[in-house]
């Protein structure tokens, strides 16, 4: 088997600078920043600096940031905090993360009402049905599988903005809560960011209230510090023009060799860092094994449950076939040659 040197999976590896600091970060003793002695005060200062750095790159206020032990938990809190009244009407998109749909099931058990908004074949969701201010919507900025950027935003009610796919996409003009996933920019897993708009009064803590905290204060300090370092490294290294050039070259080579390949959401505005293909005539699981033997790592199936290769609820919602689906992510550490060779390898699958 050829050593895997060309990683196109959705998980972004830790950057070199962040990786170099990991031993020091995780090897340190991190006393509680709430205590009064010198080492605790130093931890509090480090956390404040890290929060300021994260806030700068995400274009939020440091006071709005809550650090949560996991992205799904953060998204659940961001949504459920807008659904504390059962009279609220909850809306979510058919192509959203599964957590958004799970929140609907829980809300309905409490007596609430929810509506799933369908997607068109281009991955766009219409929010025109949301006419009441007494509503809350889970809104996804960019889809995790297809990279499709939503072109409309609800004009009524509260909004939980799912920003977990791509840290480069901006917040919508109006939002109440927002969620980021450090793993999307090369940060560690096991931590998520919940952001609560300081100007919004729509969110209330749906769980047990601990003192004056809006969320549980017990999070991993080293995971947060590593996330902040990774975000700075990723934003500094960002090169959209190179990503676009590699994407166009990849698609051009692939379509010249296999004209019947389908790119999910190709007609929609998209982040070119995410590519979801439907390759006629292949079996995805076998294709993954073949590509790995050639030195390429790609994904298939649902982005939410990748180990089991569950069918993609996103492609299903868009009305596309799920047979022969391959997903890949483009990053700055990949070369134009890497992309060309991957295209040729995919075109050769049968």
Identify the pLDDT of residue 207.
Answer: 74
pLDDT classification of 15: cutoffs 50, 70, 90: confident
Quote the CA–CA distance of 226 and 18 in Å, as a whole number. 7
Among residues of the chain, what percentage have pLDDT more than 90? 73
In the predicted structure, residue 1 carries a pLDDT above the cut 50: no
> Strands 177-180 and 192-196: what pairing?
antiparallel
In the chain, the N- to C-terminal Cα span, in Å, equals 19
pLDDT classification of 230: cutoffs 50, 70, 90: very high
Q: Kind and range of the H or E element at 158? A: strand 158-162
Phi-psi region of 153 (alpha: psi -120 to 50; beta: other; left: phi over 0): beta
Identify the pLDDT of residue 209.
Answer: 64
In the predicted structure, residue 3 carries a pLDDT above the cut 50: no
| Cβ-contact 273, 243 below 8 angstroms | yes
Q: Kind and range of the H or E element at 178? A: strand 177-180
In the predicted structure, residue 133 carries a pLDDT above the cut 50: yes
Identify the pLDDT of residue 117.
Answer: 98
Which tokens belong to 91? 């809306």
In the predicted structure, residue 4 carries a pLDDT above the cut 50: no
pLDDT classification of 159: cutoffs 50, 70, 90: very high
Lowest mean pLDDT among 116-130, 188-202, 238-252, 306-320: 306-320
Domains defined along the chain, listed by start: 6-13+239-347 (3.90.1150.10), 16-237 (3.40.640.10)
**pLDDT by residue (tens digit) across 24-46?**
777 777 766 666 666 777 777 88
| Cβ-contact 67, 110 below 8 angstroms | no
Burial tier of 158 (Cβ tally within 10 Å: 0-12, 13-18, 19+): buried
Q: How many helices (H) and strands (E) does the chain have?
A: 9, 12
The residue with greater pLDDT, 207 or 238, is: 238
| Cβ-contact 138, 93 below 8 angstroms | yes
**pLDDT by residue (tens digit) across 160-174?**
999 999 889 999 999
What is the CB neighbour count within 10 angstroms for residue 213?
A: 11
**pLDDT by residue (tens digit) across 99-126?**
999 999 999 999 999 999 999 999 999 9
Quote the CA–CA distance of 195 and 62 in Å, as a whole number. 9
Average pLDDT over every residue of 72-98: 95
Average pLDDT over every residue of 35-62: 85
Which tokens belong to 206? 């749906």
Burial tier of 79 (Cβ tally within 10 Å: 0-12, 13-18, 19+): buried
Tokens 């297809």 -> residue: 146
Average pLDDT over every residue of 311-330: 90
HSE (CB half, 13 Å, CA atoms) of 297? 13
Rg for the chain, CA atoms, rounded: 21
**pLDDT by residue (tens digit) across 176-188?**
999 999 999 999 8
| Cβ-contact 126, 117 below 8 angstroms | yes
Which tokens belong to 321? 């076939």
């Amino acid at each position: 088997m050829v050593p895997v040197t060309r990683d196109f999976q959705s998980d972004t590896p830790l950057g070199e600078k962040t990786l170099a600091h990991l031993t020091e970060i995780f090897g340190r003793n991190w006393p509680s920043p709430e205590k009064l002695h010198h080492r605790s005060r130093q931890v509090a200062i480090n956390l404040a600096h890290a929060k300021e750095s994260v806030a700068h790159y995400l274009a939020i206020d440091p006071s709005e940031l809550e650090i949560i032990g996991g992205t799904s938990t953060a998204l659940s809190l961001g949504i459920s905090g807008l659904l504390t009244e059962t009279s609220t009407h909850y809306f979510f998109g058919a192509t959203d993360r599964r957590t958004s749909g799970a929140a609907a099931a829980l809300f309905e058990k409490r007596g609430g009402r929810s509506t799933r908004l369908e997607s068109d074949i281009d991955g766009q969701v219409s929010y025109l049905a949301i006419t009441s201010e007494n509503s809350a919507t889970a809104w996804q900025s960019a889809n995790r599988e297809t990279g499709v950027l939503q072109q409309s935003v609800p004009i009524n009610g509260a909004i939980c903005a799912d920003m977990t796919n791509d840290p480069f996409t901006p917040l919508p003009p109006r939002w109440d809560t927002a969620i980021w996933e450090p793993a999307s920019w090369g940060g560690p897993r096991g931590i998520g960011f919940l952001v609560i708009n300081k100007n919004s009064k729509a969110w209330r803590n749906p769980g047990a209230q601990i003192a004056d905290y809006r969320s549980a204060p017990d999070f991993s300090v080293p995971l947060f510090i590593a996330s902040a370092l990774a975000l700075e490294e990723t934003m500094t290294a960002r090169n959209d023009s190179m990503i676009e050039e590699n994407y166009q070259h990849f698609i051009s080579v692939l379509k010249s060799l296999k004209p019947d390949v389908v790119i999910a959401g190709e007609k929609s505005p998209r982040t070119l860092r995410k590519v979801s293909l439907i390759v006629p005539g292949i079996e995805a699981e076998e294709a993954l094994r073949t590509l790995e033997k050639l030195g390429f790592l790609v994904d298939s199936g649902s982005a939410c449950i990748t180990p089991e290769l569950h069918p993609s609820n996103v492609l299903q919602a868009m009305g596309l076939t799920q047979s022969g689906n391959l997903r890949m992510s483009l990053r700055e550490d990949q070369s134009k040659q890497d992309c060309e060779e991957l295209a040729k390898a995919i075109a050769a699958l049968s």
